[in-house]
Every structure is written in structure tokens, then in C-alpha cells.
């Protein structure tokens, strides 16, 4: 019987990869066939994405399918959230693809709150305040480049733009659209009144489609370039939404951490919580697969370790850094969610400065720096777990860690110790698996998300860490 392959293109802030999957003896087989670097670049004084190069890499990875003789039945692309491109009536990009860590959104919250209060905005959207949310990015464009909005015919989130280049079809995928802070959690569609209040052109916002929607086939010129045609199926295009779809549990509600550049910690809900209590705790209600809500909190994540390594010890692997951190006894802690760590000129010096200002021991070596960051992350996870439990009115005995951070055994152990919960780590390729699950459900390989999660749990090894509060030093 001929094997049916599915292709997930998963692009993160630091790298992208093409992952092929198929079913074999009832289990998912995953194969990385192509990987490429990504990162923000500086242009005209702003942090931007090189979208032309990224799309060229998408095509390069697709060509690898032909070389391997493994042509996918379908494919889908996921990326990070909130960032977008503006297109004119001919589908040409207007301006650069600005990156969320760019500083142009500073002060834009006040521009938005001149039209709607922060409290009412949360009640309407359920999305936590992050100064880089699309709603504030558009306020910056309106303030700094008003002609761009006049010229623009369409706004597409980053993965929607790549799907458009592949198929010629313009739609907005639901999970990523919710991160704009312009979607109603009730109607699961654009909040027309909010868009009018803010003075954003309504024509920019395309029809919202749910994960699993068949967008179409590759354009003829793309078929010629890559050497095949296939269906393009919308996955949960927000990488965290795909990762959460792959959390390998049959529990209706569980705590998870999607761990990578960011740590996204939360649970799933079938209805959004737009209460004042949720807002005060800065919880968000982002869209998930099957109209679920990802009730979660953004935590700065492994971006801090990645930055410190790049600056202070690029010759060391993350495993060695963890090993050195585990030997340290430094007791200093920092607030990992402080905005100062979002895009500092030098993360190493910013961590040291934060410790110095707090009157705590200043870390010197890479081991001490990593120990401060890892312990501070685990401490933050514990506090966030308590917040979610209080808001949900229930206790969670386990935390599922998925994504690349599931490999960080030292952090996983600390998380178990600080939270006093069982930590189950894996799969590390959760984002690609959630992307693929949506495609395979659409193809009839799985009946529903529950069946896909059961297969993921059966196909990939997990590692458990037991913790009891009071063990941390």
C-alpha cells in the first residue's frame, strides 16, 4: 500500500524546518527533511523579518520532498503570532515585515486607549496586553506611516501571507487572527465595531477560516518550481496553537507549557474568560483548534538563555550550560516577565543589572547566569500555576511540557520542584505534530483531536519528573 505523507513547515523566531509525517503500524513517524535559520534583521532603524528569504527557504524544503521521493498529500505552515504584512490591490507588499520585538509600538497602547479603555478592550477580546500585539502595531503604522494604511488592500498574518504566495488565496486563519486583539471570542470573527472605533480600514481584514480548512492547491508556477502539487490545508497557524493541539493527554483540562523561545503556560477552555480577574492576572484567551481557547500566560522563556549563550558562551551547548547551572548555589532571582528582558541590547548585562538593582548577588559565570534564569523561570511557572488554579477553581496534579524546551531536563526538574507537581516532558516536536494532526484529521486519518492526541501519546516517548514543594534551594 502506498504511503501517504503530510508536510508541516514550522517557522520559529530563530529557525524553520520541514517535517514529513506518515502513519506506520498505527503510529506517527516524523522525519525532519530540511532546516534553515531565521532571525530579525535591522533595516532603516527597525527590526524586521526577511520574508523573501523565508519564502525561498519554504520552497527549498519542498523541493527536498522530490529528492526523497516523498510527495506530500497536503502541507501547511505555522509561524509565530502577531506579525503581519500589508498588501496592495495587486498583492504587492507595502513596507517591511516588522518584527514584534521592534520598539515602534512603545506608547501605542495609549493611542488605542484613547478610543477604548483597557478594561473594555479585554472584555471584548479576552486577549492579554502585550505591547507587540497587532492592535498596537497597527496603531504605530497609523501614527508613523498613515499612507500605508491608505494604500493597503489587505492584511495577512505571517503564515497567511506564505499560504497566499503558495496558492494565491487570501484568508485569515483563526488561531493567529485572535492574537491581533481584534477578534471576538463570542462570534470568533472580526470585531467590526472595535475596528471602526480604532479607525483601521475594514477592507484589510480577510475572511477568517478555521484549522483544517482546505485552502486549495499550489499555484502553477509554484508547482513548476518545486516539482509537485499538493493540497494546502490550514493548520493552527499560530505555532503555540499547533503545539497545544499536540499535548498528549486525554484529560479534558490540563496544565501545559509550550516551551521554546517563549514559555506559554495555561490550560484549555471551551469558553473564554474575559473577566476582570482574568485581566488583572494578564491571562489571555487565544484561539485554539476546534474552537477551544488557550487560556494562558506569556512568559519570557528560553529566549533569555539563548541570548546569554550567544553573548557569553557561544562555544557551549545547552546541555553543558545546564550541567554548569546545576552545580551553582547562587540564590539570586529575577522577574523574567519584566519588559527589560524583551529586547535588551545585551541580555547578560541586563540580568546582572537587574540583580544588582535588587541588591542580590550578581552572576558572573555562564553557569551562574543560567542558574539565575532557570530558577527564575521555574519560580514563575509555579506562580502562574497557582494563578490559573485560583482562576479555574481547581487543582492540576500534572504539567505537560511540549516543544523544544521539553529537552531542558534541568529546567523540567526545577519546574517539578518549584510547583510540587508531576512534570511530563514531550514531545519536543509538538508544534509540527499539531500542524500535521490538523492536516491528518482533514484527510480522515484521525477521527478528531482526541484520536490524534492518543496517537501522539502512543508514538513518542515522554519523560516524567516528580516534584514536591520545599525541595528547591
Distance between CA atoms of residues 274 and 442, nearest Å: 31
Catalytic site includes residue 239 = yes
Which phi-psi region, left, alpha or beta, contains residue 448 (left: φ > 0; alpha: ψ -120 to 50)? beta
Q: Which of 288, 350, 377, 361 is nearest to 328 (CA)?
A: 361
Q: Which H or E run contains 91?
A: none
Distance between CA atoms of residues 366 and 310, nearest Å: 11
Q: Which of 113, 112, 125 is nearest to 274 (CA)?
A: 125
What the block records as the C-alpha cell of 158 is 505571517
Q: Which of 232, 216, 267, 299 is nearest to 421 (CA)?
A: 267
CA dihedral 17, 22, 26, 28 (to 10 degrees): 0
Give percent helix, percent strand, percent coil of the chain, each to the nearest 5.
40, 20, 35
What the block records as the C-alpha cell of 247 is 499535548
In contact, 355 and 361? CB cutoff 8 Å: yes
Distance between CA atoms of residues 398 and 411, nearest Å: 15
Alpha-carbon distances of 199 from 142, 145, 150, 176, 178, rounded to whole Å: 9, 14, 11, 21, 19
- What strand order describes the sheet that includes 93-94? 93-94, 84-87, 154-157
Q: Which of 320, 17, 55 is nearest to 162 (CA)?
A: 55
Q: Which of 239, 273, 290, 448 is catalytic?
A: 239
What the block records as the C-alpha cell of 375 is 530558577
* CA gyration radius, the chain: 22
Neighbours of 81 (CB within 10 A): 29
**Which segments within 302-420 are labelled E, that is strand?**
398-402
Q: Which of 93, 177, 102, 171 is nearest to 137 (CA)?
A: 102
Angle at 11 between CA 20 and CA 273, to 5 degrees: 105
Which active-site residues does the annotation give?
Answer: 239
Amino acid at each position: 500500500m502506498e504511503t501517504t505523507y503530510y508536510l508541516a513547515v514550522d517557522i520559529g523566531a530563530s529557525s524553520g524546518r520541514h517535517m514529513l509525517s506518515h502513519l506506520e503500524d498505527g503510529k506517527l513517524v516524523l522525519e525532519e527533511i530540511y532546516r534553515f535559520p531565521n532571525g530579525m534583521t535591522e533595516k532603516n532603524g527597525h527590526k524586521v523579518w526577511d520574508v523573501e528569504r523565508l519564502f525561498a527557504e519554504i520552497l527549498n524544503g519542498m523541493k527536498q520532498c522530490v529528492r526523497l521521493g516523498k510527495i506530500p498529500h497536503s502541507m501547511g505552515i505555522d509561524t509565530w503570532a502577531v506579525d503581519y504584512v500589508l498588501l496592495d490591490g495587486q498583492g504587492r507588499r507595502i513596507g517591511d515585515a516588522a518584527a514584534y520585538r521592534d520598539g515602534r509600538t512603545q506608547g501605542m497602547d495609549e493611542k488605542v486607549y484613547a478610543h477604548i479603555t483597557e478594561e473594555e478592550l479585554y472584555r471584548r477580546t479576552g486577549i492579554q496586553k502585550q505591547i507587540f500585539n497587532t492592535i498596537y502595531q497597527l496603531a504605530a503604522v497609523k501614527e508613523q506611516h498613515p499612507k500605508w494604511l491608505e494604500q493597503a488592500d489587505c492584511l495577512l498574518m505571517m503564515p497567511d501571507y506564505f499560504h497566499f504566495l503558495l496558492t494565491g488565496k487570501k484568508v485569515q486563519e483563526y488561531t493567529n487572527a485572535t492574537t491581533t486583539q481584534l477578534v471576538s471570542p463570542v462570534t470568533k470573527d472580526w470585531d467590526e465595531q472595535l475596528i471602526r472605533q480604532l479607525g483601521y480600514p475594514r477592507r484589510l481584514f480577510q475572511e477568517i477560516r478555521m484549522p483544517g480548512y482546505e485552502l486549495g492547491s499550489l499555484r502553477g508556477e509554484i508547482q513548476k518550481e518545486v516539482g509537485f502539487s499538493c493540497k494546502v490545508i490550514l493548520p493552527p497557524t499560530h505555532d503555540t496553537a499547533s503545539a497545544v493541539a499536540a499535548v498528549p493527554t486525554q484529560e479534558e483540562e490540563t496544565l501545559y507549557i509550550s516551551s521554546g523561545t517563549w514559555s506559554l503556560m495555561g490550560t484549555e477552555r471551551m469558553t473564554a474568560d474575559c473577566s476582570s480577574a482574568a485581566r488583572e492576572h494578564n491571562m489571555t484567551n487565544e484561539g485554539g483548534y476546534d474552537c477551544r481557547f488557550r487560556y494562558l500566560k506569556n512568559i519570557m522563556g528560553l529566549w533569555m538563555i539563548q541570548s546569554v549563550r550567544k553573548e557569553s558562551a557561544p562555544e557551549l551547548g545547552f546541555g553543558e550550560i545546564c550541567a554548569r547551572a546545576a552545580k551553582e548555589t547562587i540564590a539570586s532571582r529575577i522577574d523574567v516577565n519584566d519588559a527589560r528582558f524583551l529586547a535588551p541590547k545585551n541580555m547578560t548585562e541586563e540580568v546582572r543589572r537587574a540583580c544588582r538593582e535588587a541588591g542580590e548577588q550578581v552572576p558572573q559565570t555562564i553557569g551562574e547566569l543560567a542558574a539565575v534564569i532557570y530558577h527564575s523561570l521555574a519560580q514563575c511557572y509555579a506562580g502562574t500555576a497557582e494563578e490559573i488554579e485560583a482562576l479555574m477553581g481547581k487543582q492540576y496534579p500534572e504539567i505537560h511540557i511540549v516543544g523544544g524546551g521539553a529537552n531542558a531536563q534541568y529546567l523540567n526538574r526545577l519546574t517539578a520542584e518549584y510547583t510540587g507537581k508531576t512534570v511530563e516532558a514531550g514531545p519536543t516536536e509538538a508544534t509540527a505534530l499539531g500542524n500535521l494532526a490538523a492536516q491528518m484529521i482533514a484527510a480522515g486519518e484521525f477521527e478528531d483531536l482526541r484520536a490524534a492526541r492518543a496517537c501522539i501519546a502512543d508514538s513518542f516517548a515522554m519523560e516524567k519528573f516528580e516534584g514536591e514543594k520545599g525541595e528547591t534551594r
